[in-house]
Amino acid sequence: MLVLVIVFLFAALGAGMAGVAFMLQESLYEHRARVDAYYVGVASESLRMRMARTGGLGTVTMVDLASTDEGFKLKGANADRVYMAYAPNVSDGVWRFDRALVYALDDLGDRAWDPLAVSSNSCSATAGFATAPSWCGPVSGVVFDLIETRETYLSLLTDEAMRMQITLQKLARGYSVVEKDTFPRGPIAIGNANTVCAAGGGTCVNTACSSPVVFQQTPLDCSDQFSRWGGAVVFNLVSAKHVALVSNATTVRRAAGTSRQIARELRVP
């Protein structure tokens, strides 16, 4: 009888220890999953901050990102658990853009999962990460965030158009107050065009901007002379009462590979 009791106690103790070990293992999995998800979120946020600052993704690696101001929170991340994939110059038929993926694999899932494989794209059975117009990841087993430069195109174009509108407002004030019958234009003749910086006698180098240049008592500063991409803004004097500004959005690329141009005009009846 005593032997049976001892055997029962050891069996119960063994079962209890196995249960504790299982709970500890589950707790470890959950902790790793939370940490992985946190760093995936931090890394993708850092890439979006870089994209907002520079217009591009730059070098898409954990090491490079952690070495920059945007990625300072990644210094404690484990590069063996949080991964990145990158594909430049992807086309959706309308735009060309760069694509990045930040992801971490579930310890209990498929640790050999490869985002570059065509089979990993649940949006398409024929196009993979580097060529598909749209990419969709799995619903389980992987925590990920997809970052594409095209997601900023609308805001970039809108911001640039608003910046150009401010320049046109300055020219409109010059028309009303100074010139009265024609827009401030510097030496530009009607029917011709030139960059704002050149017509104003500036350097036309955005990093050494001459500010301001003056068109008939209307001062135009660096934000009037250069786009957010650093290119010189072109001033078109269509007529005495009609002007147009044009800038080149170098990071906003059409499917053919050409940059998107932005134009804004102002005319007086």
Can you give the residue range of the structural domain that contains 92?
A: 21-140
Query: Does 255 lie in the same domain as 231?
Result: yes
Does residue 145 fall inside a structural domain?
Answer: no
| Residue 23 pLDDT | 63
Query: Does 93 lie in the same domain as 160?
Result: no
**Of 101, 116, 140, which closes a domain?**
140
**Of 85, 117, 140, which closes a domain?**
140
Query: Does 111 lie in the same domain as 33?
Result: yes
Query: Does 126 lie in the same domain as 101?
Result: yes
Does residue 16 fall inside a structural domain?
Answer: no
- Among 104, 31, 113, 110, smallest CA distance to 74 is for 104
Does residue 114 fall inside a structural domain?
Answer: yes
| Total count of domains within the chain | 2
Q: Is 149 helix (H, G, I), strand (E, B) or coil?
A: helix
Query: Does 98 lie in the same domain as 196?
Result: no
- Among 261, 257, 230, 228, smallest CA distance to 247 is for 261
| Residue 171 pLDDT | 94
| Residue 181 pLDDT | 77
Query: Does 190 lie in the same domain as 97?
Result: no
Query: Does 132 lie in the same domain as 158?
Result: no
Q: Hey, what are 4's tokens?
A: 């049976």
Distance CA 174, CA 235 (A): 15
Query: Does 179 lie in the same domain as 251?
Result: yes
Query: Does 235 lie in the same domain as 172?
Result: yes
Does residue 6 fall inside a structural domain?
Answer: no
Does residue 73 fall inside a structural domain?
Answer: yes
Instruction: Provide the total of helices (H) and of strands (E) in the chain, helices listed first.
Output: 5, 9
Query: Does 166 lie in the same domain as 103?
Result: no
Alpha carbon 255 to its chain centroid, in Å, reads 18
- Tens-level pLDDT at each residue, the chain (269 residues): 555 555 554 555 555 555 555 566 667 678 788 888 999 999 999 999 999 888 899 999 999 999 988 888 888 888 888 999 999 999 999 999 999 999 999 888 788 899 999 999 999 989 999 999 999 998 888 999 999 999 999 999 999 999 999 999 999 998 877 666 789 999 999 999 999 999 999 999 999 998 899 998 899 999 999 999 999 999 999 999 999 999 999 999 999 999 999 999 999 88
Does residue 228 fall inside a structural domain?
Answer: yes
Query: Does 164 lie in the same domain as 136?
Result: no
**Of 87, 110, 140, which closes a domain?**
140
Does residue 128 fall inside a structural domain?
Answer: yes
Whole-angstrom CA distances from 73 to 45, 46, 55, 100, 139 are 10, 9, 21, 19, 27
Does residue 3 fall inside a structural domain?
Answer: no
Query: Does 196 lie in the same domain as 85?
Result: no
